[in-house]
Amino acid sequence: MTTSNLASKKVLVTGGAGFLGRQVIAQLQKAGAQLENISIPRSSTCDLRSLSACQDAVAGQDIVIHLAAHVGGIGLNQIKPAELFYDNLMMGTQLIHAAYEKGVEKFVCVGTICAYPKFTPVPFKEEALWDGYPEETNAPYGVAKKALLVQLQAYRQQYGFNGVYLLPVNLYGPEDNFNPQSSHVIPALIRKVYEAQQAGATQLEVWGDGTPTREFLYSEDAARGIIMAMEDYNESDPINLGTNSEVSIRDLVTLICRLMDFKGDVVWLTDKPNGQPRRCLDTAKAKEKFGFTANITLEQGLQNTIDWYRQHPE
């Protein structure tokens, strides 16, 4: 899809007002899309759990990028597993069906690495996606999102519908969700350290024992990968988006404390869940199929995120 070609395309970005969505809009414009041709349905006026809302949203669109999700960290997954399953399944499955019905040219679905089995050999290869059940704490969310991959593959097989499925690793960056009730690990830690500093606290409590490893992809890099796949990837196999490097939660906490100049002690709440033991993606396919590699280092990305949060603590 060339820049001049993209200039005339109408693009729907669900979740386009969100933390990743804003970066995707910016990358779309960089690739040649016109802002007036980009539609962003808002949940207040367009409930994507409703088929009629999905049909209205996709009418007249050439490309759909589905980012919208009801998502959060371990805490939210434990409290609201049913909502996370239902909301994500209904949004995605009806949007895909409506897009097929309305003749959308290309559907880009952003999935989740929560879909991978609990004990997946590291680094996670896309072929291992069906080798077991996801980690229990986020399985309802992961299974709901994984069902959308099956749907896209079935619609390609039966209808020739061009839908692609991407598996981004844990995302972070400026404008992330810093709400302690629903945030993921990096924004949660940044806020905790900031609030400890504001209160003059000498201790920082962190869930788990610090041994799990995670891989983190900066939101701007993720958005760039999504647009590259939109332009150049047209196959049924899912594709990982990540950095291909992992960091332990213990080392992550140490790094954030150093970048934020927090000198207190870290107290590990070992009675709290750790989540999946290790997460790190094999990212060779994204490089091979559409030339994507991550550019922003974890330290640089964290610094950018910390700087943004300090300016927007509310």
Active-site residues: which are they?
141
Q: What is the distance between the alpha carbons of residues 310 and 312, in angstroms, rounded to a whole number?
A: 6
Residue 68 CA: distances (Å) to CA of 84, 149, 210: 12, 15, 30
| 168 marked among binding-site residues | yes
| 208 marked among binding-site residues | no
- Give the three-class secondary structure for 220: helix
| 75 marked among binding-site residues | no
| 287 marked among binding-site residues | no
Q: What is the distance between the alpha carbons of residues 194 and 260, in angstroms, rounded to a whole number?
A: 8
| 9 marked among binding-site residues | no
**CA trace torsion 246, 252, 255, 259 (10° rounding):** 110
Contact indicator for 107, 64 with CB cutoff of 8 Å: yes
Total residue count of the chain as it appears in this document: 314
One-letter amino acid identity for 303?
Q
Residue with tokens 């490893």: 213
| 291 marked among binding-site residues | no
Contact indicator for 207, 273 with CB cutoff of 8 Å: yes
| 142 marked among binding-site residues | no
For residue 69, the cross-strand partners are none
| 128 marked among binding-site residues | no
| 111 marked among binding-site residues | no
| 214 marked among binding-site residues | yes
| 222 marked among binding-site residues | no
One-letter amino acid identity for 62?
D
Contact indicator for 257, 193 with CB cutoff of 8 Å: yes
| 207 marked among binding-site residues | yes
* Tokens (6 digits) for 23: 């970066």
| 17 marked among binding-site residues | yes
| 225 marked among binding-site residues | no
DSSP states of 144-168: HHHHHHHHHHHHHHHH---EEEEEE
User: Annotated binding site for NADP(+): which residue ranges?
Assistant: 15-21, 145, 168-171, 184
Residues annotated as binding site? 15-21, 145, 168-171, 184, 192, 207, 214
Binding residues for substrate: 192, 207, 214
